[in-house]
Structure 1
Amino acid sequence: MKPKAQMIGVREETLAQHGAVSEPVVVEMAIGALKAARADFAVAISGIAGPDGGSEEKPVGTVWFAFASVSGEGITRRECFSGDRESVRRQATTYALQTLWQQFL
């Protein structure tokens, strides 16, 4: 398991069963980050920014988000962005910040 995943408590079984770009993994990431950082809110993002790595099930541009709060609220979202690697990453970051603001703040 990668050190980052270990640090925030993503289980190997979850990664093996669902893959890194999946709803169960981002949920574990967000909950683990919330606990590890002792924060009020956490956002987890996992996606395929490209240019390679996509599949029919998870094409390039697929991004999973999980948002968690210390109050126990949580939401997940799956989005598909277009453009080159930098554009996908930028769109995902913007989406994450806007969603955090709109849903939790």
Structure 2
Amino acid sequence: MRELAQSLVDALRNRNETICFCESLTAGLAAATVADIPGASMVLRGGLVTYATDLKASLANVPPAILEEQGPVSPVTAREMARGARRACGADWAVSVTGVAGPDAQDGHPVGEVWVGLSGPRWTASSSAADLVDAEWSRFALVPGAPVPVRLLAGDRAQIRRTSVQAALAAALAGLREQKLPANR
């Protein structure tokens, strides 16, 4: 994971851009992972730890209607967390992480369901964390209401949190690589 964090810091430094985080189940672990890299102070603006649902609204500005309709664990909530953190921290990029680390399911969401949001200068998106990491860190599970097995993060609580950070860093790096620098920059 250190290599991913180093690559992210290097990419941001090369672009003269900044990043921030909005973290729920990882509780600041993603920002701390980036902060461990020498030179992170040039790119890391900070972050929001929105472990409690109400803080997603009050700190990250997630509209209460979204939290009520979608809940704290959803792709829509992840996008709004990233969008709100980007504004709150004044960063070029923001990454959010929300999900269920376990040991128990939460509000009908299974252990290992994690969403990563990414907000950049031109767009905001979200992805399942299980789709952002190598298959060895995920599993398929039958989830009530889903027509097919769903890919989730695998492992115990600590492993799911670490893998969520890996997914968040991978999403940020992929987003940077996809979005070309403007010609006048």
User: Taking structure 1 as the reference length, what is the TM-score of the superposition?
Assistant: 0.88
RMSD over equivalenced CA pairs, Å: 1.7
Which of 156, 161, 178 lines up with 1:89 in the alignment?
161
* Secondary structure of 1:2's aligned partner: helix
User: What per-residue deviation string (whole Å, max 9, x for no partner) do you get for residues 59-86 of structure 1?
Assistant: 11000111011x2222210132000000
> Across the two proteins, how many residue pairs are aligned to each other?
103
Structure 2: stretches of 5+ with no match in the other structure: 1-52, 131-151, 178-185
Structure 2: how far apart are the matches of 1:61 and 1:104? 26
**Contact kept? 2:104, 2:110, Cα under 8 Å:** no
Q: Secondary structure at the match of 2:162?
A: helix
Kindly state the Cα deviation for residue 43 of structure 1 after the two structures are TM-superposed: 0.4
Residue 114 of structure 2 corresponds to residue 63 of structure 1:
yes
1:4 is displaced (CA, Å) by 4.6
Structure 1 residue runs without a partner (length 5+): none
Task: Sort the Cα spacing of 1:11 and 1:74 in 2 relative to 1 into closer, same or farther, 3 A.
Answer: closer
Give the letter aligned to residue 92 of structure 2: D
Write the letter of the residue equivalent to 1:96. Answer: A
Partners of 1:4 and 1:75 in 2: how far apart?
A: 17
Letter in 2 for 1:85: R
Label 1:104 to 1:88 Cα distance change in 2 as closer, same or farther (>3 A): same
- Kindly name which structure, 1 or 2, has the bigger radius of gyration based on alpha carbons: 2
Structure 1 stretches of 4+ with a deviation exceeding 3 A read none
Q: Percent identity?
A: 33
Partner Cα separation in structure 2 for residue 60 and residue 23 of structure 1:
16
Q: TM-score, normalised by structure 2?
A: 0.52
SS in 1 for 2:117: strand
Aligned to 1:74: 124
Measured in 1, the distance between the counterparts of 2:75 and 2:171 equals: 16
Q: Structure 1 residue aligned with 2:82, among 24, 30, 33?
A: 30
